[in-house]
A and B are shown apart, each in its own frame.
Chain A
Amino acid sequence: MTTDFTQDFFSLLGLPRAFALDTERLDHAWRTAAAEVHPDRHASRPEAEKRVALMMATRVNEAYQTLKNPVNRGRYLLSLQGVDTGEETNTSMPADFLMAQMEWRESIEDARDSGEVEALDALSARLRDEMRERVAELAVALDTAPDLDAAALLVRKLRFLEKLEQEIGDAIESLLG
């Protein structure tokens, strides 16, 4: 007996396979699916069913986390089409992007060293704007005018930006206490 665990996350949650996503519908689909498979709903049931519920609930949560975050969603859509974004191995980036990265890093370090939480918050807001722009480009490269190479590059860029955001968050946290 085999179960179809190869079913993709979009069909698992009954959503169209596309980058454009109605987040409210995703939230709702996740809660609906979780309500069926959550271990709490099977706590007084036979062992086999409890094990399966744990597996299914884990998978439903993974689907939600993957689709909710645009970078993860983009990467996942690419992987469904056989494209590996190669974020660990492919580090070649356009020179202007790398320059911009260095500037970001310096600004974060300066703000952290001078203990300015407001400055870090402002940087975080600016970074999120930049990410929104890249995400809009990613939507085009995946949905409207498909260009998988461009999409893969955008995912790699967004991964860099996510790491910067994490650094800002860590810096704020270290300043707060």
Chain B
Amino acid sequence: MALLQIAEPGLSAAPHEHRLAVGIDLGTTNSLVATVRSGSAAVLADEFGRSLLPSVVRYLQNGETVVGHEAQSEQTRDAQNTISSVKRFMGRSVKDIKDAPALPYRFVDAPGMLQLQTRAGVKSPVEVSADILRALKTRAESALGGELTGAVITVPAYFDDAQRQATKDAARLAGLNVLRLLNEPTAAAIAYGLDNGAEGTYVVYDLGGGTFDISILKLTRGVFEVMATSGDSALGGDDFDHRVYCWILEQAGLHGLSAQDGRLLLTRAREAKEALTEHLDTRVTALLSDGQAIDLTLDQATFRQITKTLVDKTLLPVRKALRDAGIQAEDVKGVVMVGGATRMPHVQKAVGDFFGQPPLTNLDPDKVVALGAAIQANVLVGNKTDDEWLLLDVIPLSLGIETMGGLAEKIIPRNSTIPVARAQEFTTFKDGQTAMSIHVVQGERELISDCRSLAHFVLRGIPPMVAGAARIRITFQVDADGLLAVSAREMTSGVEASIEVKPSYGLGDEDISRMLTESLSHVQDDIEARKLREAVVDAESLRDATVSALASDGDLLAEDERQLVDTALAAIAEAIAADDTRQVNQATHHLNKVTEDFAARRMDRNIQRALKGQNIAEL
């Protein structure tokens, strides 16, 4: 692969400094944090040597918050204030949660995303997730002995925009600098592919605690190209637990359980499922609060039978993904199993039968996602690595807008390689119309009501004209995180009505910074000093990058353009000397602006150089 010509010495103030970066697998059941140390990726354990952090958060009477094993052990006793599997609620409203009435929580139906009433007040799933992320951040910083520069957070490939946005918000709320949202199966493919030097078409079958993903990837000379992805963001190991739970209720003739008893039996159900991975049968015992004792035996055959429909349900997205990728099951070179739920023998058998080959299970299915995320974080943060590889991922669900009659018109089809943008022109419907309402949706169905609503917004200030004369160009941009941004422009008048889509779900930027400030209130004094330090670091790294770019590609600038850049560089030095945060930020912003086209020209030159190199190599 071509060498990167943009990476120059003088990239940062201390080019050889190893920056601390982590990969975080924010799972439904368990979460992990991993990092790359002396060239290899490793999961970071807590002080007791445990790598998995149960994704459980408990809000205590005294205002404290506990996360992980400690919260999990009290789950049965304090079900309402102990939140588990919060990932299922990210970017979702109460009506999306089918089993909401059976859950021990007090749901609050807020617009866009549900909330949970706890003794610590009303919590959004974003805040609960942020508590989990904060625990992992603390673990990482104490293990690595320093502040993190950034983190890659994994999300199910099949997560829609609302769920992705919510995850990114949670990370920001936890004070993490998000380098990238990375799809879980893709992360697994990185860890697997780089370890095994794999080439060819691979399938990643990722059955986690609450989500199911299938991704088909083509691996060629260090390029991980996702060909298609599919899945079910509400199907996972939890559902298997639930089937066992229902079986227990049925066998014992129970109904109308208290939240506490329900939680207890759900725990027993999970333990039974896990036991059946190793054993042919297992005993299920429990003592309910009314004194009734439960004592049942569950064997593997029964377990297989009560969960068969769930296993079959995973094969449907598998077929869809193969179809979208335009390949057959026999074209697949290997099937990588990811997620704790793939330990179940009958899941492995079903997948093996479907692909006509035993699935690959040589990597720990619980850890592989975090390891892949750590490898990518290490690259994104700018640490030098020996591997030169590139990730080309896709958007899992089509993006569209509402047209007349409640129909969805697709603008960006699913499985498009990201980043991707598409522009569409619209016109006015009535004479003198000055506003237009746009409804952005995500999903494959024809009817708007069957798709997920992402955002409603109104375009105002269209110059009054006869119907059909105005031309409004709306651009949909999906970035490398798989997140959507929309902008609009009126073409005839040239008025740029750049609009920001603040989705109805998620939190606004203001909410985040308010929550962040609140959580940092005890270190308020440091904030100003810290802001200045961060501003100066940014300014210096931009200055150094610009100086080295001028040295190598200065010929791309005309004399007057060069002068603009030099002036902006001088302003940076002046601002740093003045110790003024605002001035430094302004100078940085200005230098960024005047070097944007320079950066584009350099990238253009690098593409042409790389292509020329490629053509020569072919000769």
Could you tell me the distance between the alpha carbons of A43 and B592 in the complex, rounded to whole angstroms? 15
Q: Is A176 an interface residue (CB 8 A)?
A: yes
Q: Is A40 an interface residue (CB 8 A)?
A: yes
B419 touches A54 (CB 8 A): yes
**Of A44-52, A94-102, A147-155, which binds chain B?**
A44-52
Q: Chain B residues with Cβ under 8 A from A49's Cβ?
A: 6, 545, 595, 599
Could you tell me the distance between the alpha carbons of A45 and B607 in the complex, rounded to whole angstroms? 18
B615 touches A14 (CB 8 A): yes
Q: Is A158 an interface residue (CB 8 A)?
A: no
Q: A interface, by DSSP: helix, strand, loop or mixed?
A: helix
A12 touches B595 (CB 8 A): no
The size of the chain B interface, using a CB distance under 8 A, is 60
Whether A52 touches B611, Cβ cut-off 8 Å, given contacts A38-B480, A172-B323, A177-B316, is no
A176 touches B614 (CB 8 A): no
**Of A57-65, A73-81, A131-139, which binds chain B?**
A57-65
B603 touches A37 (CB 8 A): yes
B6 touches A42 (CB 8 A): yes
Q: Is B45 an interface residue (CB 8 A)?
A: no
Would you give the 0/1 interface string for B575-619, flagging 1 where the beta carbon is closer than 8 Å to chain A? 000000000000010011111111111011011101110110010
B607 touches A37 (CB 8 A): yes
B6 touches A33 (CB 8 A): no
Whether A58 touches B611, Cβ cut-off 8 Å, given contacts A31-B390, A41-B6, A47-B592, is no
A29 touches B611 (CB 8 A): yes
Q: Is B259 an interface residue (CB 8 A)?
A: no
Whether A48 touches B611, Cβ cut-off 8 Å, given contacts A1-B561, A61-B420, is no
Q: Chain B residues with Cβ under 8 A from A172's Cβ?
A: 323
A39 to chain B, nearest CB (A): 4
Whether A46 touches B592, Cβ cut-off 8 Å, given contacts A4-B604, A52-B600, A53-B603, is yes
Q: Is B421 an interface residue (CB 8 A)?
A: yes
A120 to chain B, nearest CB (A): 11
Q: Chain A residues with Cβ under 8 A from B611's Cβ?
A: 13-14, 29, 32-33
Could you tell me the distance between the alpha carbons of A7 and B604 in the complex, rounded to whole angstroms? 10
A14 to chain B, nearest CB (A): 4
Q: Which residues of B304-360 are within 8 A (CB) of A? A: 316, 319-320, 323
Q: Chain B residues with Cβ under 8 A from A46's Cβ?
A: 541-542, 545-546, 592, 595, 599
Q: Chain A residues with Cβ under 8 A from B561's Cβ?
A: 1
A52 touches B599 (CB 8 A): yes
A169 touches B323 (CB 8 A): yes
Could you tell me the distance between the alpha carbons of A13 and B608 in the complex, rounded to whole angstroms? 8
Whether A35 touches B479, Cβ cut-off 8 Å, given contacts A29-B611, A40-B380, A52-B596, is no
Would you give the 0/1 interface string for B416-456, flagging 1 where the beta carbon is closer than 8 Å to chain A? 11111100000000000000000000000000000000000
A2 touches B597 (CB 8 A): yes
Q: Is B504 an interface residue (CB 8 A)?
A: no
B319 touches A176 (CB 8 A): yes
B485 to chain A, nearest CB (A): 10
Most buried by A among B391, B599, B601: B599
B→A interface (CB under 8 Å): 1-2, 4, 6, 11, 19, 179-180, 220, 223, 225, 316, 319-320, 323, 376, 379-382, 390-392, 416-421, 477, 479-480, 541-542, 545-546, 561, 588, 591-601, 603-604, 606-608, 610-612, 614-615, 618
14 more contacts with CB within 8 A, not counting A37-B607, A48-B593, A61-B420, are A7-B604, A29-B614, A31-B225, A32-B2, A35-B4, A35-B610, A38-B480, A40-B376, A41-B4, A42-B6, A60-B607, A172-B323, A173-B320, A177-B316
Task: Rank and list the top 6 A-B pairs by shortest CB-CB distance, nearest first.
Answer: A44-B382, A14-B611, A1-B597, A48-B592, A43-B380, A39-B480
